Amino acid sequence: MIFALFGDVHSNFPALEAVVKEIKKISPDGIYFLGDAVGYGPWPKETLDQLKEIVTEGVLGNHDAGVVGKTDISDYYDAVRYVINWTTDTITNDQYEFLDMLKYIHVVDNPGNFLLSHGSPRMPERYDYIFGCKSIRKLYEVEPYLKEVNFVGHSHYMNLFAMTGSEKAVEIDISTQEIEIDYGCPVVCVCGSVGQPRDGDPRAGFVTFDTDKKVIKFHRVEYDIEKTVNKVKELRLPRSFGERLRNGY
């Protein structure tokens, strides 16, 4: 079976539309959401309606948690708090409830044997980032609860790591975009971002997982960035949240 996974849409509806169009060409057996539907961007309502329609299961991102009052945003910087509060005031009750029902972790035992978490699954309610092997080594504390493949978002990067035993980890080269992951040890896949990439590539990102071939594929999709930049300006949201999309940072 083939599953599509993505996260960090951040209310960037043109990016989500482009990704959904590409996913439909693949015709996956399920679509899984890795959190942060909202925050930063100008289309929270449209984004949430689309996710409600297509997502098989999903998890709660930190911006989502901020909107529904499940995380303390007092230490977030002013511009982020402003958009989170604006989003809370903008969305409908049904959209709020969709976010509110999302859990911190979701596990798929069969088929696939995989786990979803927005940040590190070690303490998912803390939303720790996974940027490198140091973060992966901490996962040995919860290794019995991990699955064969563990999908996360939050960092807005695309990475792949293997936990090779004895509290060691390696980062796997993903430059071929298609990686066979039958290593016999837990793998952590960082799935990038649909709406706010930060790896220097402004294209929207998502991954697919072929459970039969044990293959993860990393996808990038072009979308109309200027449409989002202009909408951010029109709504007088913090301009940097739109302008930085041009460079993918």
pLDDT tens sequence across 89-147: 999 999 999 999 999 999 998 887 899 999 999 999 999 999 999 999 999 999 999 99
Q: What is the mean pLDDT of residues 208-213?
A: 96
* Confidence band for 17, pLDDT divided at 50, 70 and 90: very high
Contact 207, 23 (CB under 8 A): no
d(CA 40, CA 57): 23
Contact 35, 8 (CB under 8 A): yes
Q: Which residue has the higher pLDDT, 231 or 182?
A: 231
Residue with tokens 């016999």: 184
The mean pLDDT of the chain is: 96
- For the chain, the residue count is 249
Give CA angle at 17 (38, 220), nearest 5°: 95
The answer, as to whether pTM is greater than 0.85, is yes
| Domains observed in the chain | 2-246 (3.60.21.10)
So what's the pLDDT on residue 119?
Answer: 97
- pLDDT one-digit tens code per residue, 170-210: 999 999 999 999 888 999 999 999 999 999 999 999 999 99
Kindly tell me if the per-residue pLDDT of 85 is higher than 90: yes
Which H or E run contains 207? strand 204-210
Count of Cβ atoms closer than 10 Å to residue 214 Cβ:
15
So what's the pLDDT on residue 112?
Answer: 79
* Confidence band for 156, pLDDT divided at 50, 70 and 90: very high
So what's the pLDDT on residue 111?
Answer: 80
